[in-house]
Amino acid sequence: MKIIDKTPLQDKKGIISFTARIRGTLKYGLNWYSELEAQKGVIAKLGRVLEKGFVLIRNFTLPNSEIVIPLILIGGGGIHVIYVTNVKGFFEAKGDQWNTISSGRSQPARINYLSRVAQLTRAFQKYLEIHKFKLTIPIESVLIASNPGAQIESLRPIARVVRSDAIRQFADSLLQTPISPSSGRVYDLADHIIDPSLRKEANPAEDYPEDPVSRAQAIFNASNSSKSINPNELGLEFEEDDAPFFQQADPLNVRATDPAQPFQAQPSIPARKRILGMTVAQVAVLAGMLGIELSLLIGIFILIYSNQ
């Protein structure tokens, strides 16, 4: 499996420095770094099964936006937009609802990961529409819970839900999918997604002729064409204190509904109080990290001074 890593803030060796980690946490949310680590484990498991003919694009930032698609897995049988979460506990994935289960009762979780991956898929679909990609292979939303401590009951969720102990089974299922384009076409498609200007040398309609919509495509078949990706127009709703790979710009409140129905806008809610452009939680995180760094510097100074 070919991996194209576009993770922001990491160096050429794939390492995220302490300073970059602070910047990433402030920009992308409190769970940003832990979810990057969870991605690595999932990628390793997928790589043991998926070999030639598959490309995985990691953390691709959609141009002219700050929307980052966590994982885009491309194979001859389809494209999968994958979100990896490391949450643990008891959950219920029902339709577009992501609920926690406690004492036999379910209630909406603080973060709706099903809605999140569906919205990211919508953003990716919009990006493909803008650049006039016409695919013969379907696009599907996938939520992977990488933590073995996550127990999930699924009842027709809007995205495929994969538990940690079923990642290999998920990969095996991709090998059973009828193959459409050749491996070379898959690699070309990945390159063209990252840099659509490369497609000027080819005929897009011949490379990727149109196909009937898939389950995930049906969610987004009402999307409007535009020249740029505007988060407000997409109606992406992420929780500000924990919004992975997305800098919120007062978007509309939109929730995923029935897969066959278009998204419906809801009344907007007031923006949360910000300090220097950051939320209170982000300021608290920054203060805590700076305090730790200052303590380390003071400790090093004292150690050097005492040894003189």
20-75 per-position pLDDT tens digit: 999 988 888 888 999 999 999 999 999 999 988 899 999 999 998 889 999 999 99
- Alpha-carbon distance 83 to 59, whole Å? 10
Question: Is the confidence at residue 15, as pLDDT, over 70?
Answer: yes
Q: Please name which of 211, 261, 206, 197 lies closest in space to residue 79, comparing C-alpha atoms.
A: 211
Instruction: Decide: 256 and 158 in contact? Cβ < 8 Å.
Output: yes
**Plot region of 203 (φ>0 → left; ψ -120 to 50 → alpha; else → beta):** beta
Instruction: Give the pTM.
Output: 0.71
Structure-token pair, residue 253: 């409140």
Question: Is the confidence at residue 89, as pLDDT, over 50?
Answer: yes
The average pLDDT across 264-285 equals 52
Q: What pLDDT, on the 0 to 100 scale, is given for residue 145?
A: 96
The average pLDDT across 218-239 equals 47
**Of residues 164 and 307, which shows the higher confidence score?**
164
Burial 295-307 (b: 16+ CB within 10 A, else e): eeeeeeeeeeeee
Instruction: Decide: 123 and 235 in contact? Cβ < 8 Å.
Output: no
